Amino acid sequence: MTAEPRTGTGHRRPAVGQYAGDRRRAWPYPRTALAMAAAAAAAVPFLVPPYPLYRVTLVLVYVVALLGLDLVTGHGGLISLGHGAFFGVGAYTAAILLAAGAPYPVTLPAAGLVAYGLGHAFGRPAVRLSGLYLAVVTFAVAVAVPPLIRRLAPGGAMGLPARTPGAPSFTGLDDDQWVYLLVLAVTAAAFALTRVVIRSTAGRALAALRADAGAAELLGIRPPATRAHAFAWSALYAGVAGCLFTWTTGFVAPESFTVTLSITLLAGLVIGGLGTVPGAVIGAVVVAFLPAPGLVSGLALIVVLAVAPHGVTGLARRLPSFLGKDRA
Amino acid sequence: MRRLALVALLLVSACRVTSAEVVVGGPPACAGQHADGLTPTTVRVGGVYPLSGPASAYGAVAQGAAAYFAWANARGGVAGRQVEFLVRDDGYQPARAVEEARRLVDSDRVFALFQTLGTPSTAAVRAYADRRGVPQPFVASGASDWGDAAHPWTIGFQPTYAAEARVYARHLLRTRPHATVAVLYQNDDFGRELLTAFEDAVAGTGVQVVARRGYEVMDADVQAQMAGLAASGAGVFLNVGTPKFAAQALAADAAMTTWNPLHLLNGVANTPSLVAGVGPAALRGVLTTGFYKDPVAWEDDPDVRTFAAAVRRHVPDADPASSQVMFGWTSAAAFAAALERMECPSREGLMAAARDLRDVEIGTLLPGITVSTGPGDPYPVEDLRVFRFGDSGWEAV
Amino acid sequence: MIGQVVHGLGSGAVYAALALALVLVHRFTGVVNFAQGELAMVSAYVAWQLVEAGLSYWVALPLTMVVAFAAGALAQRLVMRRAGDAALIMTIGLYVLVHALAAQIWTSALRAFPDPFPGGPLGVAGPLAVVGAVLALLYLVIRHSGAGLTLRAVAADPRAARLAGIRVGRVHALGWGLAAVAGAASGVLVAPVVFLEPGMMGDALVSALAAAAVGGFANPVAAVAGGLLIGVAETLAGTYLWADLRVVVPLAVLLALPAVRAAGLTRVRA
């Protein structure tokens, strides 16, 4: 049995920007694009009526979750089917704290830390084996968490309403705009953190493991510890995103965090494109606007994997070189 | 370049589309109340139902409500207002239910959120309805919670699970005063509410609960629970499950030759899908409760005929023989009754009317059952009748 | 107590059959097939449709197995083959698609499924016999047939097998087909108990994954033993300890396995 089971996300020939630490440029004006994106994002709450704004806020929430999932799946090459469970744990942590009267800024780090701790607890035993095993264990986590929430968390099957952050009066904003700006700030911080993590020693170690585990081990990288850390970090992102979800919707229930959510998140990320920031953003749009896994998302996932393994982002990135002279 | 963007940003920020609420002028008693989605000739109403996903069978309720509103519109509307009924799908996920409720209120500007379906989705939308002051009348769930005075914008419709439990207890005390009862219940708010109310109702009488087994919604089947309950040898079996598990319990009961208790099937489980799936043989002799006319058993009733004709005409996809379509129709009729009785044409006025319905008769409710609310009585329908499954389906006992 | 153990064995037989399918696919194509349960669900619907069309159960059953084999092989040829390294995610896509298709075709209404085995404590012998028969059949095909030989060759070393002139793609399809047959057995076993509906294999899949993990996704006998044990453990934990523990049993098994492996009890290779 030399058929070393290869876990999912490998790329036979990495295209531009398809692996962590890749510095090749695919788009000539990154700073301008970033500035324009930031300006546009900050302008949204002043342009968009309340309901679409709520949808955009949810997209940002899923962006944070997918940035975390991308750490494990895109950069680590491991598959987590339990991301929705950590998202739910974060959401519930925030809701329970808010119900107990805690001020909402406290709930964000609390949700992240609880998810991080659980991520360590489940990730440690799981990553001692191969990536396949992590997928199986996380699937079991995703299945077990909703009934446990239903039994252990206040509110039970009825779910739990939570206060949503109210805008301080000096800002002159309404609550929807305030929540959007809070979520946007956290999303921006998550982006920045992702860049730092990926360029850190641990991030490089993760990318090295994914590219060639044997060679990486010879360099002194310990696969289980590195992967367990990456997994716990991704759980932290999921927990933070869950907290933002509670801030946005003001209600949590066990049915919102079933294995369906985990599958939706993974599908969104794959369709958007693994290992890239734009992939996470496109994926979040997919998650927010194609909420229930059904015919469309199933077909989309299969077609993307069969035709464009780098997702929508990969297709877009290939476009300039395809149109230009320097065809690879 | 960037400064230009900033200026543009400031400019457009001044003209953001805000949700200016429609405020009632009119008579002084009603002044200052809100009336989004309501004009003298139209009323826009939203409903959130599981049209997809595991609970999609309940989507038929929306068809019944839609049929009623279309029928009423064809006859000149409800109190002169044409009803525009918008149906949205939440896939039985509370988060999506809130999302759709927001869309209905913020974008579609509905006057009221009529009948969210299922306990979790209703609870989720209730938190939002409270915040926004939007009526959420006649929700399709039997939890006692919807009578909670802390949530003035939400009111239930069907008899509560506790009321249903008391009807079973009363029936047993009358027909089998010394019965031993085995209970299978779903281990959540629904199952526990029914079980607790039943135990309270029979406490101190000759009827005894001798065995009870819970199952989880995530369980695959209830075989193990049924084996445990059969071992009790109880004379009565109270089946408190959702359709899938109730069907399994019915089939298990029918397969067991050594244990033949009187089978009480809770009303939530009594769906057309269950009756078709389990088949008449396993259902023979089973008791259940109901409060509206079964479209098959009451085929010749004039109101049921009107119902069937309207469903065929306005919602051809719907099955006029489905009791869930009938349920949607009946609740929509109650909603229309509340709309007609509004004193102020406003959201506040609708809730005041829904909380002050005095013995309103609806043709498709069983004879003698009325919709009735008032101060201190936030439960519209509280009475139920017992039915037994016989040769021609459900027959009154 | 004995009654509970018997019922546990009944659900254990379902997990065992599904775990066998998982082991087969993993051994021969190196991927854990998350869509296995959904393929089994569709097989059960096919059997139901055949019985509804008027066929006797014992005619419908072999026909279903043939259809399941073809469907499994087709899924491999049409979809999985194009997955490259992303095979596991592809099985998730298959899971979503097959489930959505089934919900579209057959709706979420409950359907009664014929039960060939009598009720009561003796009824559990039937499912166990089915699992035993599937296991024996697979053993015969894999150990004592030409196709089985190529299967084993591919499993041992796909590259060498390809050099030796074996059409690896076809062999992979054969592995998927055989697995689908084992999965169909689980679907047909579970349907009479839980009623036929698109979500019916959802819970069985987790338990079957844990069972297959007991055998390191490679050992069929260990997977069957794991399935039966997990079935009994779930029933006992749910009855005597805490009803919610049922859903935690597979997770606990999966988390404990790496430590157990360290103790040398099972070969968890995955």
Instruction: Express each pLDDT in B128-153 by its tens digit.
Output: 899 889 999 999 988 888 988 889 99
CA separation for the pair B122, B100 (Å, rounded):
12
pLDDT exceeds 50 at position B334: yes
Residue B257 touches partner C, C-beta closer than 8 Å: yes
What pLDDT is attached to residue C268?
43
What pLDDT is attached to residue A37?
86
CA separation for the pair B253, B263 (Å, rounded):
8
What pLDDT is attached to residue A291?
61
Verify whether the Cβ–Cβ distance C195 to B54 is below 8 Å. Answer: no
Q: Which residue's entry shows tokens 């019944």?
A: B64
Choice between B311 and A10, residue whose per-residue pLDDT is larger: B311
- Helix (H) / strand (E) containing B175: helix B161-175
Phi, psi of B38 (to 5 degrees): -125, 125
Verify whether the Cβ–Cβ distance C119 to B221 is below 8 Å. Answer: no
Is A201 a domain residue? yes
Residue C244 touches partner A, C-beta closer than 8 Å: yes
pLDDT exceeds 50 at position A36: yes
Report how many domains make up chain A.
1
Mean pLDDT for chain A?
84
Residue C62 touches partner A, C-beta closer than 8 Å: no
- Helix (H) / strand (E) containing B388: strand B385-390
pLDDT exceeds 90 at position B73: yes
Q: A122-136, A253-267, B48-62, B314-328: which has the minimum mean pLDDT?
A: A122-136
Verify whether the Cβ–Cβ distance B123 to A159 is below 8 Å. Answer: yes
Is A120 a domain residue? yes
Tell me the one-letter amino acid at B194: L
Of B91, B123, B216, the CB nearest to A147: B216
Distance from CA of C93 to the nearest CA of A (A): 5
Show which of residues 129-188 on chain A sit within 8 Å of chain C, judged by CB atoms.
129-130, 132-133, 135-137, 139-141, 143-144, 147-148, 151
Q: Which residue's entry shows tokens 């930031």?
A: A38
Show which of residues 68-107 on chain C sit within 8 Å of chain B, judged by CB atoms.
103, 107
Distance from CA of A145 to the nearest CA of B (A): 11
* Contact pairs from chain A to chain B, CB under 8 Å: 107
Is A287 a domain residue? no
What pLDDT is attached to residue B84?
94
Of A79, A141, A267, the CB nearest to C88: A79
CA distances from B50 to B54, B335, C85 (A): 8, 20, 37
Question: Nearest-CA residue of chain A relative to B124?
Answer: A251
**Residue C198: its chain B contacts at CB < 8 A?**
54
Model confidence pLDDT, tens digit, residues C84-103? 778 889 999 999 999 999 98
pLDDT exceeds 80 at position B386: yes
Of A3, A4, A267, the CB nearest to C96: A267
Mean pLDDT for chain B?
87
C-beta of residue A79 within 8 angstroms of C-beta of residue A244: no
Model confidence pLDDT, tens digit, residues B6-39? 444 444 444 454 445 677 666 777 888 888 888 8
**Residue B5: its chain A contacts at CB < 8 A?**
36, 39
CA distances from B149 to A103, B152, C198 (A): 27, 6, 40
**Residue B221: its chain C contacts at CB < 8 A?**
11, 193-194
CA separation for the pair A107, B203 (Å, rounded):
45
C-beta of residue C248 within 8 angstroms of C-beta of residue A145: no
Cα–Cα nearest to B309, from B59, B61, B71: B71
Model confidence pLDDT, tens digit, residues C114-138? 877 765 555 677 788 888 888 888 8
The pair of three-digit structure tokens given for residue B67, joined into one six-digit string: 């049929």
What pLDDT is attached to residue A2?
35
The pair of three-digit structure tokens given for residue B5, joined into one six-digit string: 């963007």
Chains in touch with B (3+ beta-carbon pairs under 8 Å) read A, C
CA separation for the pair B160, B321 (Å, rounded):
25
What pLDDT is attached to residue A85?
96
Which of A87-101, B243-257, C247-261: highest mean pLDDT?
A87-101
Is A302 a domain residue? no
Of A51, A156, A253, the CB nearest to B103: A51
Convert chain B into a string of H (helix), E (strand) and C (coil).
Answer: CHHHHHHHHHHHHHCCCCCCCCECCCCCCCCCCECCCECCCEEEEEEEECCCCCCHHHHHHHHHHHHHHHHHHHCCCECCEEEEEEEEECCCCHHHHHHHHHHHHHHCCCCEECCCECHHHHHHHHHHHHHHCCCECCCECCCHHHHCCCCCCECCCCCCHHHHHHHHHHHHHHHCCCCEEEEEEECCHHHHHHHHHHHHHHCCCCCEEEEEEEECCCCCCCHHHHHHHHHHCCCEEEEECCHHHHHHHHHHHHHCCCCCCEEEECHHHCCHHHHHHHCHHHHCCCEEEECECCCCCCCCCHHHHHHHHHHHHHCCCCCCCCHHHHHHHHHHHHHHHHHHCCCCCCHHHHHHHHCCCCCECCCCECCCCCECCECCECCCCCCCEEEEEECCEEEEC
**What's the rounded mean pLDDT across residues C7-12?**
86
Of C11, C119, C243, the CB nearest to B214: C243
- What dihedral do alpha carbons B223, B226, B228, B230 form, nearest 10°? -140
Model confidence pLDDT, tens digit, residues A215-256? 888 888 888 888 889 999 999 999 999 999 999 988 898 888
What pLDDT is attached to residue B81?
92
**What's the rounded mean pLDDT across residues B368-387?**
90
**What's the rounded mean pLDDT across residues B156-165?**
92
Task: Express as a percent the part of chain C with pLDDT over 90.
Answer: 34
Instruction: Give the residues across from B43 on adjacent strands.
Output: B38, B83
Residue B20 CA, distance from chain mean position = 32
Model confidence pLDDT, tens digit, residues B48-67? 999 887 778 888 999 999 99
Distance from CA of C167 to the nearest CA of B (A): 40
Instruction: Give the residues across from B387 on adjacent strands.
Output: B288, B396
What pLDDT is attached to residue A22?
56
Burial A35-67 (b: 16+ CB within 10 A, else e): eeeeeebbbbbbebebbebbbbbbbbbbbbbbb
Q: A56-70, C225-239, C252-266: which has the minimum mean pLDDT?
A: C252-266
**Residue B216: its chain A contacts at CB < 8 A?**
147, 150
Instruction: Give the residues across from B213 on adjacent strands.
Output: B184
Residue A211 touches partner C, C-beta closer than 8 Å: no
Task: Express as a percent the part of chain A with pLDDT over 70.
Answer: 87
C-beta of residue B392 within 8 angstroms of C-beta of residue B175: no
Kind of pairing between the strands at A160-161 and A251-252: antiparallel
Burial A97-122 (b: 16+ CB within 10 A, else e): bbeeeeebeebbebbbebbbebbbeb
CA distances from A195 to A67, A70, A115, A119, B68 (A): 10, 12, 21, 21, 57
Is A267 a domain residue? no
**Residue A141: its chain C contacts at CB < 8 A?**
251
Model confidence pLDDT, tens digit, residues B204-221? 898 999 999 888 776 777
**Residue C79: its chain A contacts at CB < 8 A?**
302, 306
Cα–Cα nearest to A64, from A233, A290, A212, A304: A233
Distance from CA of A200 to the nearest CA of B (A): 32
**What's the rounded mean pLDDT across residues C176-198?**
88
Question: Nearest-CA residue of chain C relative to B278?
Answer: C112
Task: Express as a percent the part of chain B with pLDDT over 90.
Answer: 50
Verify whether the Cβ–Cβ distance B120 to A50 is below 8 Å. Answer: no
Cα maximum dimension of chain B: 87
C-beta of residue C172 within 8 angstroms of C-beta of residue C29: yes
Q: At what angle do helices C125-144 and C168-194 cross, to 10 degrees?
A: 180
Is A6 a domain residue? no
Residue A5 touches partner C, C-beta closer than 8 Å: yes
Cα maximum dimension of chain C: 56
The pair of three-digit structure tokens given for residue B231, joined into one six-digit string: 């071992």
Distance from CA of A161 to the nearest CA of B (A): 6
Rg (CA), chain C: 18
**Residue C197: its chain B contacts at CB < 8 A?**
54, 244
Of B54, B257, B277, the CB nearest to C195: B277
pLDDT exceeds 50 at position B285: yes
DSSP, residue by residue, A192-221: HHHHHHHHSHHHHHHHHHHH-HHHHHHTT-
Question: Nearest-CA residue of chain B relative to A290?
Answer: B96
Domain ranges, residue A62: 49-258
Choice between A46 and C247, residue whose per-residue pLDDT is larger: A46
* Domains parsed from chain B with CATH numbers: 35-159+301-384 (3.40.50.2300), 161-290 (3.40.50.2300)
What pLDDT is attached to residue A10?
47
What pLDDT is attached to residue C165?
84
Model confidence pLDDT, tens digit, residues A165-185? 888 888 888 888 999 999 999
Is A227 a domain residue? yes
Is A241 a domain residue? yes
Distance from CA of A224 to the nearest CA of C (A): 12
What pLDDT is attached to residue A321?
64
CA separation for the pair A90, B92 (Å, rounded):
22
Verify whether the Cβ–Cβ distance A253 to B124 is below 8 Å. Answer: yes
- Helix (H) / strand (E) containing B176: none
Show which of residues 105-164 on chain C sit within 8 Å of chain A, judged by CB atoms.
155-159
**What's the rounded mean pLDDT across residues A60-72?**
95
Q: Which residue's entry shows tokens 């082991």?
A: C23
Residue C247 touches partner B, C-beta closer than 8 Å: yes
Q: Which residue's entry shows tokens 């996809």?
A: B317
Verify whether the Cβ–Cβ distance A3 to C30 is below 8 Å. Answer: yes
**What is the band of C168 on the pLDDT scale with cuts at 50, 70, 90?**
confident
**What is the band of C184 on the pLDDT scale with cuts at 50, 70, 90?**
very high
